Amino acid sequence: MKKIVLTTAIFSFFTLLGNSQIEINVEGQTTDISGTALDINIDPSSGSIPSLGEYVVDLEIHNNTGVNKSWRVTRKKLSVPDQWVDKVCFLTCFSPSPLDVYCTPSNTPLVVNNGSSAVFYLHFTPEEAVAATATYRYYVSGDCATFEDSVDIRFNYTLGLKTTKLNPTFDIAPNPANDCTVISSNGVEISNVKIVDVLGNVVYTEEISESKKIDLSDFKNGIYFITIETADAKISNRKLIIRH
């Protein structure tokens, strides 16, 4: 499997409950893409082909509704070539192809407690060496009928296109973290690290070099955002989840 993600948020409006307390983002990023479309450009001729020709997109859903949720994911084909194969994975993998509309089973829900998040994985296998565009829509609901939020995934499988790949420069591990986490870089000199809570309060800032172990024992449980600035003034934003 190979993960290739190039994001462009394009707003589109769906018939939903409009629950702004649900956020969806690409894992490792902080932009909320719920209610929008995510463009993913793939060019197999520009690099190695993943195992079995399968590409994976990791999406993280955040529950800020005030109550614990047991969600199901409904996948709808909007415009997909017949030869494409897709899967939805969390806890286990479900294979909705070739159905146009598919909802994950009620006995295997995506359980997300209030204030927490969970990751679900979308797998795609295009028809090899055939350029095409495929658009899927993913709804989140408790009953496969009353949709609470959604996101579109649009694959542009274009041969000969130079593809931008998401290659993280920094690692944050463990994440989710308990009492500590380590920020490390892949040969890039870090100049400053700042951690901000969900209310925008700066709870940690320090100048470091290539890596740093951060003590989290005094931090409250929840979601935090880390801003990493490099020596050449490039900035990366990551999310950190703390669970004591």
Give the model confidence (pLDDT) of 29-75 as tens digits: 888 888 888 888 877 665 544 545 778 889 999 999 999 999 999 99
Q: Once rounded to an integer, what is the mean pLDDT over residues 229-242?
A: 77
Phi and psi, residue 53, nearest 5° = 70, 20
Task: Kindly state whether residues 142 and 180 are assigned to the same domain.
Answer: no
Q: What is the CATH number of the domain that holds 217?
A: 2.60.40.1220
In a domain, 165, yes or no: no
Least confident of 34-48, 136-150, 168-182: 34-48
Measure the CA–CA gap between 202 and 220, rounded to whole angstroms.
Answer: 13
Task: Kindly state whether residues 208 and 102 are assigned to the same domain.
Answer: no
pLDDT in tens, 124-142: 888 877 889 999 999 999 9
Measure the CA–CA gap between 105 and 96, rounded to whole angstroms.
Answer: 11
Q: Indicate if the pLDDT at residue 188 is higher than 70.
A: no
Phi and psi, residue 131, nearest 5° = -65, 135
Predicted structure pTM score: 0.59
Q: What is the CATH number of the domain that holds 38?
A: 2.60.40.10
Question: Which one of 9-18, 21-30, 62-71 scores highest in mean pLDDT?
Answer: 62-71
Task: Kindly state whether residues 117 and 236 are assigned to the same domain.
Answer: no
Query: pLDDT band at 187, cuts 50/70/90?
Result: low
| Domain containing residue 52 | 9-157
